[in-house]
Amino acid sequence: MINDLKKDAAERMDKSVHALKQELTKLRTGRAHTSLLDHITVEYYGSEVPLSQVANINVEDSRTLTVTPWEKPMVQAIEKAIMNSNLGLNPMSAGTVIRVPLPALTEERRKDMIRVVRQEAEGGRVAIRNIRRDVLGDIKDLQKEKLISEDDERRAQDEIQGITDKYIARVDEVLAEKEKDLMEI
């Protein structure tokens, strides 16, 4: 019973760390990478479709992405979607290929991005702590129902705290890595 709760907590905390990593890939660093455009959707025959389903996205060099639509009429729609994505990107089309140059980040913009990254990381920590709270509540319920002893409850609380500390440390590692990435010129 307690092992199931610990396993569930670890899985949910791992998902929180993974979600944080996904969220941070959307934040632009100085280098071009295809995941930067992952969350952009394009109108395709009346429905919103992820950009990756209507075009090839490649890294041309460290500061340029190329987007090659599978259908020529999609060029304008893709350009419009990239411009409206709030990423501060200005796509340029050359026939059927759209080049997306990434402007260099200014020092002020880097600091703003780090502030945003830290807020995202804190959100990840809060999610992990909420999972801990839920699992500790379940353990208390088990003890109240006399399904486990007080000693088992105390031991389980310590183990859950250890799991929580491990995943919060992983969030801190992800944060440090992203901050380092943002400060590189």
Q: How many CB atoms lie within 10 A of CB 53?
A: 10
Q: Which fold has domain 34-101?
A: Gyrase A; domain 2 (3.30.1360)
What count of other Cβ atoms lies within 10 Å of the Cβ of residue 155?
A: 14
* All structural domains of the chain with their residue ranges: 2-26+106-183, 34-101
Fold equal for 2-26+106-183 and 34-101: no
Q: Which residue in this structure is represented by tokens 């639509």?
A: 69
Residues paired with residue 85 on neighbouring β-strands, in sequence order: none
CA distance 82 to 89: 7
Written in H, E and C, the secondary structure of the chain is: CHHHHHHHHHHHHHHHHHHHHHHHHCCCCCCCCHHHHCCCEEEECCEEEEHHHCEEEEEEECCEEEEEECCCCHHHHHHHHHHCCCCCCCCEEECCEEEEECCCCCHHHHHHHHHHHHHHHHHHHHHHHHHHHHHHHHHHHHHHCCCCCHHHHHHHHHHHHHHHHHHHHHHHHHHHHHHHHHHCC
Tell me: pLDDT of 119 over 80: yes
Is the model's pTM score more than 0.75?
no
pLDDT tens track for 39-92: 788 888 888 888 888 888 888 887 888 989 988 888 888 888 888 876 777 888
- pLDDT given for residue 129 in this prediction: 94
pLDDT in tens, 140-179: 998 898 888 889 889 999 999 999 999 999 999 999 988 8
The CATH code for residues 2-26+106-183 is 1.10.132.20
With 0-12 / 13-18 / 19 or more C-beta atoms within 10 angstroms meaning exposed / middle / buried, residue 152 is middle
d(CA 54, CA 74): 8
